């Protein structure tokens, strides 16, 4: 791919581009096989590399947490299937890292030697690398719509607490029709949609109810942590 070539990339709010692929867990039709679930589709630069190994061990170790939040994980690199299989076997059999060992990666890892999927999703960013995908993360909702996109460069491992926080945040914002302030975590106050009329703005500023207004356009309310977790994790 030419460095200056214009490529179209999916955006937040777009339907997730469709593809079929071979993975370490069999063939998949994306996103239709995952309808009804949240999906995190993520790319990594290459098998048998250290940052990617640390990421896969972390993601696989946290997989149950993502499943509990109705979210499936799907990985991708431009390596082939046998490389994927050999790498995942090595991880399980040989790698012990930060207390994680015997780690089995059970989620599908897509082979994408032709880069067809990686290009469709804007995972090849020539300024960073022409032969490897960057560390892209796509959150796709149960209706197949892209809801968040995060990119990291080759040299930087992802923050998996943040990846999990974003998943819980997206579902909380949907379920309670609220927005979430900087660094929000379950149990923190949430933002009430901004007043859309002068009347509502006045009411809000004068109201003594559950809302706290810093100004007419910036009002928060408490949202109980258990209520959030019960809704998102179906606990």
- Cβ nearer to ligand BEZ, comparing 23 with 43: 43
Give the SS3 label for residue 202.
helix
CB-CB neighbours of 2 under 10 Å: 8
Which residue from 1, 15, 25, 50 is in contact with ligand BEZ, where contact means CB under 6 A? 50
Which residue from 137, 154, 179, 213 is in contact with ligand BEZ, where contact means CB under 6 A? 154
Task: Assess 15 for contact with ligand BEZ (CB under 6 A).
Answer: no
52 is catalytic: yes
Task: Assess 51 for contact with ligand BEZ (CB under 6 A).
Answer: yes
Place of tokens 């927005």: 179
Rounded-to-integer distance, Cα 7 and Cα 62, Å: 33
Task: Kindly provide the b/e burial profile for residues 191-217, where b requires at least 16 CB atoms within 10 angstroms of the residue's own CB.
Answer: ebeebeeeeebeebeeeeeeeebeeee
- Cβ nearer to ligand BEZ, comparing 24 with 231: 24
Task: Assess 46 for contact with ligand BEZ (CB under 6 A).
Answer: yes
109-111 and 71-77 strand pairing: parallel
Task: Assess 70 for contact with ligand BEZ (CB under 6 A).
Answer: no
Annotated active-site residue in 52, 71, 213, 219: 52
Task: Assess 49 for contact with ligand BEZ (CB under 6 A).
Answer: yes
- Cβ nearer to ligand BEZ, comparing 50 with 126: 50
Please report the DSSP string for 135-183 in residue order: EEEEEE-TTSBEEEEEEE-TT----HHHHHHHHHHHHHHHHHT-B--TT
Which residue from 4, 5, 102, 155 is in contact with ligand BEZ, where contact means CB under 6 A? 155
Q: Which two tokens stand for residue 152?
A: 């990291």
Q: How far apart are CB 198 and ligand BEZ at their closest, in Å?
A: 54
- Active-site residue numbers? 52
Q: By the criterion CB under 6 A, which residues form the site for ligand BEZ?
A: 45-46, 49-52, 132, 154-155
């Amino acid at each position: 791919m030419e460095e200056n070539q214009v490529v179209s990339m999916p955006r937040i709010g777009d339907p997730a581009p469709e593809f079929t692929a071979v993975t370490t867990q069999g063939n998949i039709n994306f996103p239709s096989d995952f309808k009804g679930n949240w999906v995190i589709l993520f790319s990594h630069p290459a098998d048998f590399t250290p940052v990617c190994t640390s990421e896969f061990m972390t993601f696989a170790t946290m997989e149950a947490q993502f499943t509990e939040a109705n979210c499936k994980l799907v990985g991708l690199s431009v390596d082939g299937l046998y490389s994927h299989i050999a790498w995942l076997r090595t991880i399980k059999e040989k790698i012990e890292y930060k207390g994680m060992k015997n780690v089995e990666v059970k989620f599908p890892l897509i082979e994408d030697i032709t880069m067809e999927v990686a290009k469709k999703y804007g995972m090849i960013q020539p300024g960073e690398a022409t032969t490897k995908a960057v560390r892209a993360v796509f959150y796709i909702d149960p209706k197949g719509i892209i809801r968040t996109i995060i990119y990291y460069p080759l040299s930087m491992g992802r923050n998996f607490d943040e990846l999990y926080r974003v998943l819980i945040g997206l579902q909380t914002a949907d379920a309670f029709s609220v927005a979430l302030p900087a660094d929000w975590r379950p149990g923190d106050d949430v933002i009430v949609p901004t007043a859309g009329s002068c009347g509502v703005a006045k009411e809000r500023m004068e109201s003594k109810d559950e809302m706290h207004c810093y100004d007419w356009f910036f009002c928060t309310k408490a949202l109980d942590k258990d209520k959030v977790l019960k809704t998102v994790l179906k606990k």
